[in-house]
């Protein structure tokens, strides 16, 4: 008999037995039925705005363990205490969840016998149950107020057959559950237990149009003989040309034994636009699957912090932080750079039946290179030429000796001096008083200062100075804004290891064979399939010379610049 047919038969038998059990239950006493049948299950819970916390506990059959999700308001901020108090986008979601329990009525009594709870799937997930009955464990929902009191406590069980929207439920009086199981209409879709339904999933919250440059650092970190070794393969930077709508290869290096070699696109090669476009879209849509809080400590100098980092695939070295599966740098137009470091596997993705994996991601923010360095200013030319210096006064020639010792030679000179002195005294006698003129005479015009036009050289110097100052002002403003955003992002990212899907990781973390493909003219240039025939004729070029001895990694042993991990690091 086909296995699928067997499964359907057994499932049908189970449904029939459950129906028979419900139909043949002992009739409950009249006073029990009158308790909640047709009445609101939680009479004191009438305002969803009073809900200040929500906790959902259920048994995850895929993981084989009980999981709990709690969202609460603390200090005016919504957080998820069940996930390290990660910030939650939960105000509207909590109102919807609480509202789904508001005014819920008992439509009928299913049983009042505790030994029959498993038939309706209302076993308490906080209590220990046999493995055979774990499939009958219900979902516990507790709604609390801002005074740490409870507004509702309910176990939601199996759906009622052939009645959409109705489920079996068991309620608590105070913190103790009753034995009575009721039928109630509840919208379970408003009670999500997935962590990512309660948070802002968009991790980077960037606009893809603002992506300016992406740097791919393809390397791995391996542990050999107690030491961590970095194996580098490629570093490439690509930039997006908005006007041309194409990708440009800015820098390209390949590594041989961790030694870089400048490279370029070969004949018949081109950038794989499809892969790069998918990379850009994946960065824009980067979703959080889960989070893990970093342990409190003194940064990457604290042994506990370092040990936790290594377990997730992040290796602190003396010069920088490495990750076991490479990293990607994303530069934005506003001067902010996101650094994405990819760690180890973080378990199975929820709801994937064990077929999809998750991966740890560490995110940091820093300034881009063009904001770290001041702008290149236009050189200023020399100013206008200065007027020529006044030539030095030549001394008067020496007097020639006069006959008779100069006697009788000075008399004409003395007379001339007297005449000059007399002429100078004459105008003084006829000069009028200050501020007055002779009758009928107009005051002399004021002297007009001549207008001096700046030279062409001076105008050019002024233009360059203004342009440079404008460039500096724009740079300083951009840097100020970028610094503020980096500080904000650092506060947001610094306490968390993020978990993303493996599918997203594969779209972002690309290697050489991903970003470079065979061009349309590859066959014409002999790069395509015919290249193998060419290799048969010409042979393979010898590899580049081996690097000097001294370890696999640049700068010291252990594959890390600076000599590997700090002293005392746990191996």
- 418's enclosing H/E stretch is helix 411-430
Q: Which of 164, 197, 230 is the last residue of a domain?
A: 197
55 and 165 co-located in one domain: yes
Q: 469 lies in a domain?
A: no
Q: 140 lies in a domain?
A: yes
Q: Quote the CA–CA distance of 553 and 254 in Å, as a whole number.
A: 14
- 506's enclosing H/E stretch is helix 502-508
Given a contact cutoff of 8 angstroms between Cβ atoms, the answer to whether 373 and 387 are in contact is no
230 and 156 co-located in one domain: no
pTM of the model: 0.72
25 and 167 co-located in one domain: yes
Q: CA 77, 79, 85, 86: dihedral to nearest 10 degrees?
A: -100
Q: 571 lies in a domain?
A: no
pLDDT, residue 30, reads 41
171 and 220 co-located in one domain: no
Question: Averaged in consecutive runs of 10 residues, what is the pLDDT profile of the chain (571 residues)?
Answer: 49 48 44 65 85 91 86 87 88 81 90 94 92 92 89 94 93 80 92 88 91 96 86 96 93 94 92 96 94 78 84 89 96 97 89 81 96 92 59 58 53 54 52 55 77 86 94 96 97 94 95 90 54 49 49 41 46 41
Q: Distance of alpha carbon 375 from its chain centroid, rounded?
A: 26
238 and 217 co-located in one domain: yes
User: Quick check: helix, strand or coil at residue 143?
Assistant: strand
Counting the structural domains of the chain, the total is 2
Q: 460 lies in a domain?
A: no
Q: What is each CA distance from 476 to 335, 371, 470, 473, 479, in whole angstroms?
A: 11, 9, 10, 5, 5
Q: Which of 147, 169, 197 is the last residue of a domain?
A: 197
Q: 434 lies in a domain?
A: no
Q: 64 lies in a domain?
A: yes
247 and 363 co-located in one domain: yes
pLDDT, residue 454, reads 86
Q: 426 lies in a domain?
A: no
213 and 320 co-located in one domain: yes
162 and 218 co-located in one domain: no
pLDDT, residue 400, reads 57
Residue 467 backbone dihedrals phi, psi, to 5 degrees: -65, -40
- 279's enclosing H/E stretch is helix 273-284
321 and 183 co-located in one domain: no
Q: Which of 197, 219, 254 is the last residue of a domain?
A: 197
249 and 369 co-located in one domain: yes
Q: 382 lies in a domain?
A: no
Q: Which domain holds residue 142?
A: 15-197
């Amino acid at each position: 008999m086909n296995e699928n047919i067997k499964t359907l038969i057994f499932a049908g038998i189970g449904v029939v037995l459950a129906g028979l059990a419900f139909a043949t239950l002992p009739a409950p006493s009249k006073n029990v039925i009158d308790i909640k049948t047709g009445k609101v299950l939680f009479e004191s819970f009438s305002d969803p705005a009073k809900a200040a916390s929500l906790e959902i506990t259920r048994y995850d059959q895929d993981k084989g363990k009980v999981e709990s999700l709690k969202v609460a308001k603390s200090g005016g901020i919504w957080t998820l205490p069940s996930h390290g108090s990660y910030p939650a986008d939960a105000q509207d979601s909590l109102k919807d969840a609480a509202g789904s329990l508001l005014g819920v009525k008992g439509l009928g009594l299913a049983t009042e016998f505790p030994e029959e709870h498993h038939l309706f799937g209302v076993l308490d997930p906080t209590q220990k149950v046999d493995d055979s009955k774990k499939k009958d464990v219900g979902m516990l929902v507790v709604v609390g107020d801002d005074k740490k009191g409870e507004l509702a406590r309910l176990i939601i069980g199996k759906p009622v057959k052939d009645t959409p929207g109705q489920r079996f439920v068991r309620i608590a009086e105070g913190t103790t559950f009753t034995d009575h199981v009721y039928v109630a209409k509840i919208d379970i879709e408003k009670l999500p237990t997935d962590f990512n339904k309660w948070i802002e999933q968009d991790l980077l919250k960037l606009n893809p149009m603002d992506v300016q440059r992406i740097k791919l650092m393809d390397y791995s970190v391996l542990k050999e003989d107690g030491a961590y070794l970095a194996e580098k393969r490629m570093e490439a930077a690509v930039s997006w040309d908005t006007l041309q709508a194409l990708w440009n290869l800015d820098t390209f290096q390949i590594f041989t034994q961790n030694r870089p070699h400048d490279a370029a696109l070969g004949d018949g090669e081109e950038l794989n636009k499809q892969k790069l476009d998918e990379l850009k879209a994946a960065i824009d849509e980067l979703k959080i699957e889960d989070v893990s809080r970093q342990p409190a400590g003194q940064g990457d100098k604290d042994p506990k912090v370092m040990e936790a980092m290594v377990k997730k695939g992040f290796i602190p070295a003396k010069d920088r932080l490495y990750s076991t599966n490479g990293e990607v740098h994303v530069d934005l137009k506003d001067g902010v750079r996101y650094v994405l470091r990819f760690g180890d596997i973080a378990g199975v993705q929820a709801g994937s039946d064990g077929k999809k994996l998750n991966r740890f991601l560490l995110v940091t923010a820093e300034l881009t290179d063009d904001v770290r360095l001041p702008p290149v200013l236009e050189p200023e030319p020399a100013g206008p030429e200065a007027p020529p210096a006044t030539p030095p006064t030549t001394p008067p020639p020496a007097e020639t000796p006069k006959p008779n010792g100069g006697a009788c030679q000075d008399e004409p000179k003395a007379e001339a001096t007297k005449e000059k002195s007399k002429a100078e005294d004459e105008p003084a006698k006829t000069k009028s008083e200050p501020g007055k003129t002779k009758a009928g005479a107009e005051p002399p015009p004021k002297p007009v200062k001549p207008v001096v036009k700046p030279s062409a050289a001076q105008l050019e110097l002024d233009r360059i100075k203004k342009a440079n100052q404008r460039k500096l002002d724009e740079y300083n403003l951009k840097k100020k804004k970028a610094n503020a955003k980096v500080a904000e992002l650092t506060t947001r990212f610094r306490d968390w290891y993020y978990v993303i899907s493996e599918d997203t990781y594969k779209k972002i973390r690309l290697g050489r064979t991903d970003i470079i493909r065979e061009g349309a003219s590859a066959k014409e240039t002999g790069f395509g399939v015919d290249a193998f025939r060419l290799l048969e004729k010409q042979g393979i070029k010898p590899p580049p010379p081996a690097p000097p001895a001294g370890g696999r990694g640049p700068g010291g042993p252990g594959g890390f610049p600076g000599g590997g991990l700090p002293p005392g690091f746990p191996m």
